[in-house]
């Protein structure tokens, strides 16, 4: 299997989680803030799911036809029931319907979830391509503190970029690469002198222009 990292635009997409146990609850915990409409289908629900403000459909999961009314091309499906046979049938159904899905008990899904976190508008994701999710989570933990320290600079960089329009992609890449390696810039950021950091960056832009 070969994977590439992507950021998937889920605007306007619906999330349907098939299954209501622990695995389904974990996916819901990570995804509930990303979708406007979420439906969870199961005969019974984990207490976490019970307490969430999502649509819950009580249904016996027997064949894919039992849930087909809740799935279309605008749906992203998480297959997370406790029935391996049913999960396998759902994978085949979604594949045939060209519906994007992830099966929690199989790594050979059209997409898999990395160990990820978001801090101050910066998302960091780590994946071992399904070989060891625990190791991905371990690395994520190591990266979190550094990301939290650095991510406060994002609004500063956004402000500087406004003044860098028109200088060309190569020049822009080199400029911001050098700026982010500049200890004086980070000194301003670390001490909360954000306007000084913006002015410092804009002066760098002027020299390029």
Would you say 66 and 60 are in contact if contact means Cβ atoms under 8 Å apart?
Answer: yes
Q: Can you give the pTM of this predicted structure?
A: 0.83
- Kindly tell me if the per-residue pLDDT of 182 is higher than 80: yes
List the 55-58 sheet strands across, edge first. Answer: 55-58, 37-42, 14-18, 75-79, 101-103
The predicted pLDDT at position 175 comes to 96
Taking CB atoms within 8 Å and a gap of at least 24, the contacts of 165-169 are: 166/209, 167/205, 167/208, 167/209
Domain chopping of the chain, boundaries: 14-113, 115-151, 154-208
Mean pLDDT, to the nearest integer, of 114-135?
93
Banded model confidence at residue 59, pLDDT cuts 50, 70, 90? very high
> pLDDT for 60-109, tens place per residue?
999 999 999 999 999 999 999 999 999 999 999 999 999 999 999 998 99
Mean pLDDT, to the nearest integer, of 188-200?
97
The predicted pLDDT at position 58 comes to 98
How many of the other CB atoms lie within 10 Å of CB of 131?
A: 9
How many of the other CB atoms lie within 10 Å of CB of 86?
A: 19
Would you say 130 and 120 are in contact if contact means Cβ atoms under 8 Å apart?
Answer: no
**Start-to-end Cα distance in the chain:** 46
Three-state secondary structure of the chain: CCCCCCCCCCCCCEEEEECCCHHHHHHHHHHCCCCCEEEEEECCCCHHHHCCCCEEEECCCCCHHHCHHHCCCCEEEEECCCCHHHHHHHHHHHHHHCCCEEECCCCCCCCCCCEEEEECCEEEEECCCCCCHHHHHHHHHHHHHHHHHHHCCHHHHHHHHHHCCCCCHHHHHHHHHHHHCCHHHHHHHHCCCHHHHHHHHHHHHHHHC
Angle of the 154-163 helix axis to the 194-208 helix axis, nearest 10 = 30
Mean pLDDT, to the nearest integer, of 139-146?
95
Indicate the CATH number for domain 14-113.
3.40.50.720
Give percent of the chain above pLDDT 90: 92
Say how far apart CA 184 and CA 81 lie, in whole Å.
Answer: 53
Mean pLDDT of the chain: 95
- Kindly tell me if the per-residue pLDDT of 1 is higher than 90: no
Give percent of the chain above pLDDT 70: 100
Say how far apart CA 142 and CA 107 lie, in whole Å.
Answer: 24
Q: Which residues pair with 125 in a beta bridge?
A: 116
């Amino acid at each position: 299997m070969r994977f590439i990292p992507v950021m998937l635009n889920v605007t306007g997409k619906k999330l349907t989680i098939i299954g209501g146990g622990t695995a389904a609850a974990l996916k819901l915990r990570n995804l509930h803030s990303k979708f406007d409409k979420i439906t969870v289908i199961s005969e019974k629900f984990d207490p976490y799911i019970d307490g969430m403000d999502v649509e819950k459909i009580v249904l016996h999961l027997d064949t894919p036809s039992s849930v087909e009314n809740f799935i279309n091309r605008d749906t992203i499906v998480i297959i997370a029931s406790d029935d391996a046979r049913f999960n396998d049938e759902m994978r085949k159904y979604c594949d045939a319907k060209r519906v994007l899905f992830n099966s929690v008990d199989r790594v050979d899904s059209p997409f898999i979830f990395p160990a990820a976190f978001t801090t101050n508008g910066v998302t960091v994701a780590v994946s071992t391509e399904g070989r060891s999710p625990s190791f991905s989570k371990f690395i994520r933990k190591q990266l979190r503190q550094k990301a939290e320290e650095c991510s406060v600079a994002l609004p500063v960089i956004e402000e500087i970029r406004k003044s860098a329009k028109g200088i060309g992609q190569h020049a822009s890449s080199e400029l911001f690469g050098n700026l982010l390696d500049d200890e004086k810039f980070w000194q301003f950021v670390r001490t909360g002198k954000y306007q000084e950091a913006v002015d410092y960056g804009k002066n760098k832009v002027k020299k390029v222009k």
